[in-house]
Amino acid sequence: MKRILASVTDGKGFDIGLVLLPLAFLLVLSGLPLVYNVVMSFQEVDMFSLGTFARPFVGFKNYVDLFSQPETRPILLNTALFVSASIAGQFLIGFGLALFFSMNFPGASWLRGLFLVSWVMPGLVVGAIWNWILSGDFGVLNFFLRETGIIDGNIFWRSDPHYSLWAVIIANIWLGTSFNMILLSVGLSGIPKDLYEAAELDGANALQRFFTITLPMMRSTIGAIIALGLIFTLQQFDLFAGITSGGPNNSSNVTQYWAWDLSFRQYDFAKGATISVIMIVFVMLASVVYVRSTRHEVRG
């Protein structure tokens, strides 16, 4: 008894306790809901059976039904486009800004801090503001493009099926760029300066230094950022709610918004869960990348 107690206060028991606590936390708050969601996707659920577990199992019916719907393919493609374009935009602009601010000109850190404002703003607020900016008749963006002579007629960003998804992507890039920039800045400052000095002495130009030192040294940071970006864009919901509501005609609909629409607008909870399961698979892939690219940090 005494030994066990001693081990809990100082010893192996203590270590195990430390591990078990967060594990239990994770299991209750993430694991169980996840399993519940998967189970739900194989059941017939309506709002009145929402409170019970005893619901009829229907096998893969929800999945089959889902994939036989005409809007499923375009929505999956939209999601792929949204995720890849958002990540590409956020990453490239964020990297550019990080490099720019790493030049350490006067006020650089101040300005860098200011950029974080966009990340601090709640998504719904950002969505509402971009909703105005992208408005067809009186939007600021159209006004700007018209005055600079880039376009002749107004572009109806939110209502033209050719542009609606891009409208949300633009807003999302704006929202996520600063987060990318900060993480990349941290990565940049971790690269030892003497590497650059040595390369410079050897006659490497700026481009060569970037491709042979900066990029390889940043590999794990970049991997982590892209994995995080994938997770963040896959859970980006507020902008869709704020700007296009997935319309017109699903042209800007993505899986995460669709799952919500099915569950809470059409009360088809089983299908909503089914989409979530499909998304979980993708997020898990991203998590694997994230964990792998940050693993060395743990080993120190």
Partner 1 sequence: MGIRRYAMLGVFALASVSLSALSASAEDVTISVWSLDRDIQPAPNLINDFNKLNTGIKVEYRQIQFDDVVSEAMRAYSTGQAPDIIAVDNPEHALFSSRGAFLDLTDMIAKSSVVKTENYFPGPLASVTWDGKYYGIPKATNTIALFYNKDMFKAKGLDPDKPPQTWDELVEAARKLTDPAANVYGLAFSAKANEEGTFQFLPWAQMAGGGYDKINSEGAVKALDLWKTILDEKLASPDTLTRGQWDSTGTFNSGNAAMAISGPWELDRMIKEAKFDWGVALLPVPALGAERSSAMGDFNWAIFSSTEHPQEAFKVLEYFVSQDDRMFKDFGQLPARSDISIPATGEPLKDAALKVFLEQLKYAKPRGPHPEWPKISKAIQDAIQAALTGQMSSKEALDQAAEKIKAVLG
Binding site for partner 1 (CB under 8 A): 47-52, 70-71, 135-138, 156, 158-161, 164, 244-251, 264-268
- Beta carbon of residue 287, minimum distance to partner 1 (angstroms, whole number): 29
Question: What φ, ψ does residue 121 adopt, rounded to 5°?
Answer: -65, 140
Query: Using CA atoms in the order 173, 178, 184, 188, what is the torsion angle rounded to 10 degrees?
Result: 140
Euclidean distance between CA atoms 147 and 263, whole angstroms = 43
What's the token pair of residue 79?
Answer: 């999601």
Residue among 214 and 252 whose Cβ is closer to partner 1: 252
Start-end of H helices in 148-218? 164-189, 193-201, 206-209, 215-217
Euclidean distance between CA atoms 82 and 70, whole angstroms = 19
- Beta carbon of residue 264, minimum distance to partner 1 (angstroms, whole number): 6
Question: What φ, ψ does residue 28 adopt, rounded to 5°?
Answer: -70, -45
- Beta carbon of residue 157, minimum distance to partner 1 (angstroms, whole number): 9
- Beta carbon of residue 266, minimum distance to partner 1 (angstroms, whole number): 4
Residue among 54 and 120 whose Cβ is closer to partner 1: 54
- Beta carbon of residue 268, minimum distance to partner 1 (angstroms, whole number): 7
Residue among 95 and 156 whose Cβ is closer to partner 1: 156
Closest listed residue to residue 218, CA positions, set 252, 174, 183, 264:
183
Residue among 45 and 286 whose Cβ is closer to partner 1: 45
Residue among 81 and 128 whose Cβ is closer to partner 1: 128
Count of CA atoms in the C-beta half-sphere (13 A) of 223: 17
- Beta carbon of residue 293, minimum distance to partner 1 (angstroms, whole number): 39
Residue among 214 and 244 whose Cβ is closer to partner 1: 244
- Beta carbon of residue 246, minimum distance to partner 1 (angstroms, whole number): 7
Residue among 77 and 291 whose Cβ is closer to partner 1: 77
What's the token pair of residue 176?
Answer: 């996520």
- Give 264's contacts (C-beta < 8 A, 6+ positions apart): 272
Start-end of H helices in 27-71? 32-40, 61-68
Query: Using CA atoms in the order 181, 185, 187, 189, what is the torsion angle rounded to 10 degrees?
Result: 170
